[in-house]
Structure 1
Amino acid sequence: MPLDHRRLRGPEESQPPELWAGVAEQEQEDGAAPRDPYALRPLFARAGLLSQAEGSAYVELGGGTKVLCAAWGPREAAEPGAPAEGGRLQCEFRRAPFAARGARCRPGSAAEREAEREAAAALREALEPAVRLARYPRARLAVSALLLQDGGSALAAAISGAALALADAGVEMYDVAVGCALCRAPGPAGAWLLQPSEAEERRAAGRLTLALLPALNQVSAVLGSGQGSPPDAWAQALRLGLDGCHRLYPVLRQSLLRAARRRAAASTASTTASTASTTASTATA
């Protein structure tokens, strides 16, 4: 039988990388090592990564969540009867086939498409209040979020990454939307946990995702699901989520500042090189 040299063949037997994970990480996933419910997972954010997009951002949470976002626009709306009052924001959320651990929906299945549509709708709901759509009449703005690895709090990371990508594209915004996720541990006295991992979300009795515009102190979206709980518990979750968003905001701002400095340095270097080339050609002539 001829071999297909264009395909990378994997090993005959393979083992999941979780077998070589640290003992502390495994104990935390198994629930044997309780963590501080008010602690935030480390956040890494970088804007301006993709050259093919007008704006881009990469967000990674400690524990394995990785999201890559890209933004395009403003562009002329394709619909001839588009409203003139303001522009449109189109959001897309996709999961990589290798994003989740263990069993997942079959790629391209109806359940997978429905989950991606719901996440895209939630992303749009969180971002629309942050974008000044009235400044782009008859225009279309597009943002896409690709979940590379799902380690928990994926939608919150996508909200932060998409807002960074729009800001990196130069879109006028009221503020950068910051996403923060929470989950409630099972049981009658279950506590709320900030930025839960994938294992904590799987065991959770309730989940909450909050999007905040910190400079305006305005909540742009609140998305909750799970079993019912007293109103005081949900109020406590909102307070925790607001505090988490305010603590994450400086990290996102610094990533935008670093991206602006990199672009300014690259523009200065390009101008200097062009001037030197022009001077050299003039001296030669």
Structure 2
Amino acid sequence: MPLDHRRVPGPEESQSPLLFVAGGAEEEASEARRDPSALQPLFARVSLLSQAKGSAFVELSGGTKVLCAVYGPREAGGGGEARGRLVCEFRRAPFASRGARRKPSERDPALAQALQEALSAAVRLGRYPRAQLEVSALLLEDGGSVLAAALSLFDLVSACALCRRGGEWLLQPTEEETRRACAQLTVALLPSLNQVAGLLGSGEGGPPESWAQALRLGLDGCQRLYPLLRESLLRAAKAHLPLRNLQLKRGTLLHRVLQNK
């Protein structure tokens, strides 16, 4: 095959530049000083995508960035159902993770299923008969706690991720901490009802008392996240809707938030 002289040939073998970055000892020292119950600083903003019925973006200080969108309600195919249907999709951008690039918008069925199970408890599907609601989450950067970040974007479901290292559970771990962990846990909570909406764990977390400790730590983190998410929703409502002309049905989520401002 003839050579293409217009291109500069790359090396036959290559290595990640991260292998030559010094500071591994510094990272371990900073992790040793980490407060296991501390939450990562979180930035959240809603109504970013004009094409979607609703959208939100969340970023954690560890580097995780997730963009979510809600579409519908649309007519559901396959016959009429008395109750609406929720369809969730979780995708990873090709540049989201370290290492080799993934295929464009690679889907993650396991996280999509966990997302759907947790959000089903927060969406009033009975009010949308014979309709389908679609939720799409796109992971832009994987810095750890990705499922918890996606869950915290819809309704007021708050979620926290944990990992176990050296016999201790860490709240909202980074990607590096998750990679070295022997067990992981994600907790989703409906704070207004004090009801667990989702629970996903894996790994060797030790005796049942250890998992119970992790659950208590996760629920406490969810309760501390709730005011931040509520304030983000309230700011968006004030910015996009004139409150003096706002007509909301009593009992809806936004009505409760505005009434308790």
* TM-score range normalised by the length of the shorter chain: 0.7 to 0.9
Match of 1:57 in 2: 56
Conservation of the 8 A alpha-carbon contact between 2:205 and 2:211: no
Give the CA deviation at 1:179. 1.1
The separation in 2 between residues aligned to 1:33 and 1:160, in whole angstroms, is 28
Secondary structure in 2 matching 1:52: coil
Q: Superposition pairs for residues 31-42 of structure 1, below 5 Å? A: 33-42=32-41
The separation in 2 between residues aligned to 1:15 and 1:229, in whole angstroms, is 35
Q: Superposition pairs for residues 53-92 of structure 1, below 5 Å? A: 53-79=52-78, 81-84=79-82, 86-92=83-89
Question: Which of 95, 99, 114 is residue 98 of structure 1 equivalent to?
Answer: 95
The separation in 2 between residues aligned to 1:100 and 1:41, in whole angstroms, is 19
Give the CA deviation at 1:28. 3.1
Match of 2:151 in 1: 159
Match of 1:179 in 2: 159
Distance 1:77 1:201, change over 3 A: same
Distance 1:93 1:264, change over 3 A: same
Question: Which of 99, 103, 109 is residue 107 of structure 1 equivalent to?
Answer: 103
* Aligned partner letter, 1:83: E
Match of 1:122 in 2: 114
The separation in 2 between residues aligned to 1:29 and 1:101, in whole angstroms, is 19
Question: Which of 187, 206, 211 is residue 234 of structure 1 equivalent to?
Answer: 211
Distance 1:208 1:255, change over 3 A: same
Distance 1:69 1:17, change over 3 A: farther
Distance 1:143 1:30, change over 3 A: farther
- Please, what is the CA RMSD of the aligned residues? 3.2
Match of 1:43 in 2: 42
The separation in 1 between residues aligned to 2:25 and 2:230, in whole angstroms, is 33
Give the CA deviation at 1:107. 2.1
Which 5+ residue runs of structure 1 have no aligned equivalent? 168-175, 269-285
Conservation of the 8 A alpha-carbon contact between 1:92 and 1:144: yes
CA deviations over 1:44-102 (Å, ceiling 9, x no partner): 111111111110000000110000000011111122x2321x10000000000000112
Conservation of the 8 A alpha-carbon contact between 1:44 and 1:61: yes
Conservation of the 8 A alpha-carbon contact between 1:48 and 1:259: yes
Conservation of the 8 A alpha-carbon contact between 1:27 and 1:33: no
* Aligned partner letter, 2:88: C
Give the CA deviation at 1:156. 0.4
Distance 1:191 1:87, change over 3 A: same
Conservation of the 8 A alpha-carbon contact between 1:28 and 1:34: no
Distance 1:137 1:34, change over 3 A: same
Match of 1:136 in 2: 128
Tell me how many residue pairs correspond in the alignment: 239
Conservation of the 8 A alpha-carbon contact between 2:187 and 2:198: yes
The structure in which a higher percent of residues are helix is 1
The separation in 1 between residues aligned to 2:48 and 2:115, in whole angstroms, is 21
> Is residue 2:199 matched to residue 1:201?
no
Conservation of the 8 A alpha-carbon contact between 1:160 and 1:177: yes
The separation in 2 between residues aligned to 1:50 and 1:3, in whole angstroms, is 41
Which 5+ residue runs of structure 2 have no aligned equivalent? 246-261
Identity, % of aligned pairs? 63
Secondary structure in 2 matching 1:196: coil
Q: Superposition pairs for residues 201-220 of structure 1, below 5 Å? A: 201-220=178-197
Secondary structure in 1 matching 2:121: helix
* Aligned partner letter, 1:82: G
Distance 1:125 1:26, change over 3 A: farther
Q: Which has the higher contact order (CA 8 A, sep 6+)?
A: 1
The separation in 2 between residues aligned to 1:155 and 1:20, in whole angstroms, is 29
Secondary structure in 2 matching 1:28: helix
